[in-house]
Chains A and B, each alone.
Chain A
Amino acid sequence: MSYKKKTNLVIFADDDADDRLLLQEAFEENDIKCQLEFVEDGVELLGYLQNNATIPSLILLDINMPRKDGTQILKEIKSNVHWKHIPVVMFTTSQSPEDIRKCYDLGANSFIVKPSSFENLINVTNTIGQYWIETVSLYAEPNVY
């Protein structure tokens, strides 16, 4: 049985095209070593997880999205045996204590309020990359091929 070091896959689920563009730029600016993929809502995220063999290293999840909102998706991911170990970082404009509490209750690994300036966004993405990509150990499934 061999363990293979794969490229880190980060999925960003957000229905807002601007936010997706800005985040991508911030990731590039920080030169974070990962493969960044975008989905536009919760249903698409679930489809992506089902249809791709690669388990992502991190999911960045917005709360206010059409079709299925962030907390619902969070619940489904955290109650699925194959996915529950994937780190999920909430990335949202909401600052309401109820939302924060609910997300942590459902098993979110972090809750980050979207920054209001590009500079702060660069700082925040840098922290995310430093911590979730460079620092922490993630569970990698044994290579079955």
Chain B
Amino acid sequence: MLFAVVLAFLITVAALAYIKLVSLVDTNERTNRNTEFVLKLEEIMSYLKDAETGSRGFLLTSDTLFLRPQKLAGKQVANLVLDLRSDTKNIDEQIPYLDSIQNMSTRKINNIWQLVHSIKPGQVNPLTDNQKQMIENGRLLMDSIRATIQNLKKMEQNRLNFNIEKQKKSTADSPRFFLIIIILAVAVIIMTMFGIYQQLLLVNKARKNLEQKINELDHANRELDQYAFTLSHHLQEPLRKIRMFSSRYENKLKKREVAHDNDKAKNTEGVAELETIRKINALATDSQQLLNEFLAFANLGQKDKTEPVRIHLPDLLHRVWLAQKEMVKTAQANYTFEGIENIVGSESRIELLFNQLIDNALKFHHPERPLSIHIESGQELVENTLFHAITIRDNGIGFEPEYAQKIFLLFQKLNAKTNDSGLGVGLAICRKIVELHNGSIVATSQPDFGTTIKILLPMPTFHA
């Protein structure tokens, strides 16, 4: 907006300066032409005077040498008048004057020639009456030519004076005019630059503020991750010790039990003690596992050095499957894979992702049928963008559709009663990994029939 106003102002200033300059040049030109016009008129007059003087000389001496100016005058006067007339800039009122000058000049020159031809060779003064009349006519003609030229000259002079006056005025004006324009322009430019500078300062300040906020946020985030990481790490040790000592105590109790096999009272006491110590151990084991999973989750935010590589899915699934062989046996599980075999991502994270997904499927298998997991890998067009789509379909116990969103949140357990080892971190880990790959993950399910988890990952920029 400001810029447009300034631009408009500068253009106006430039246009004004240009108009002023053009008018100055114009005035100057007109003054020159005036002077030239007057000079030409005087030239005509002088040619005619030359012719007149020449004829007098001839009358006195009969020498034809004096007739030369006459010959020249006729031609020159005609040319000069033509010159003056052809100047289109001349004002119309001058044209009749010019015509009558032309006319009278022709007559004057003819008059001189008549006089010259009337002189017979050998004729001596006095002149005849006729000749005297001719001279008188010539004189009258000359007078009226002089008067006309005088008139024209006066008119031209007036115009010249007017122009000179005008020029004087505008010349006197121009330095002040240009000075004002230049001062205005400079002032506007300085103001504009100052305005722009102020804007830049503001923008810079805002940017710095923003950067600082981002830094603080980053720092706070890192600190939070660090807290989570350090805390869970430090809690690991005491939990391990609790398990060690409780299991050691359990060992001792078992031995004592064997020793007191016949003492019924002591035996009952021993069994109760054993039960207590087992509970302590089980609780510590649960907490340890929770911490381990949470540590895995916190770890995802910790290191970002994992470079994306090409991953062969069937190989990865095979590894994951082998690692879970205990649970695979319990669930009588099998899996199938079809589709695109390579995906691009951080290998350790993608492995953790499939590890968690398979683990989840195995955990929540249906007790009445063997578990089968089908993994499909393909391409899918979503809102004009091509994605790598991976679906993991199982025939497990499933869940109520209303929990489809909730299951991906941290520490959300749906199957509280089943008393399995699911602690609600696994799917949160999956979601975080997928998000770290700029993808999305959704789950759909029908209770008692099974669960389908669908992952969309951006297609790699290069072809794997």
Contact = CB atoms under 8 A, between A and B. Distances in A.
Interface of A: 18, 22, 25, 93, 114-119, 121
B248 A116 contact: no
B240 A116 contact: yes
Nearest to A121: B244
A119 B250 CA distance: 10
B275 to A, nearest CB: 17
30 contacts: A18-B241, A18-B244, A18-B245, A22-B244, A22-B245, A22-B248, A25-B248, A93-B236, A93-B237, A93-B240, A114-B240, A115-B244, A116-B240, A116-B243, A116-B244, A116-B285, A116-B288, A117-B243, A117-B244, A117-B247, A117-B281, A118-B244, A118-B245, A118-B247, A118-B248, A118-B250, A118-B251, A119-B247, A119-B251, A121-B244
Contacts of B244: 18, 22, 115-118, 121
Q: Could you tell me the dominant secondary structure of chain B's interface residues?
A: helix
**7 tightest A-B CB contacts, nearest first:** A118-B248, A118-B247, A117-B247, A116-B243, A116-B240, A118-B244, A18-B241
A105 B124 CA distance: 148
Interface of B: 236-237, 240-241, 243-245, 247-248, 250-251, 281, 285, 288
Nearest to A29: B251
A114 to B, nearest CB: 7
Given A18-B241, A93-B237, 12 more contacts: A22-B244, A93-B236, A115-B244, A116-B240, A116-B243, A116-B244, A116-B288, A117-B247, A118-B244, A118-B251, A119-B247, A119-B251
Contacts of B243: 116-117
Nearest to A64: B237
Contacts of A93: 236-237, 240
Nearest to B348: A97
B187 to A, nearest CB: 67
A62 to B, nearest CB: 12
A114 B236 CA distance: 12
A99 B251 CA distance: 32
Contacts of A25: 248
Q: Which of A18, A115, A116 has the most CB of B within 10 A?
A: A116
Contacts of B240: 93, 114, 116
A18 B248 CA distance: 12
A39 to B, nearest CB: 20
Contacts of B245: 18, 22, 118
A16 to B, nearest CB: 8
A113 to B, nearest CB: 10
Nearest to B252: A118
Contacts of A118: 244-245, 247-248, 250-251
A119 B246 CA distance: 11
B116 to A, nearest CB: 131
Contacts of A18: 241, 244-245
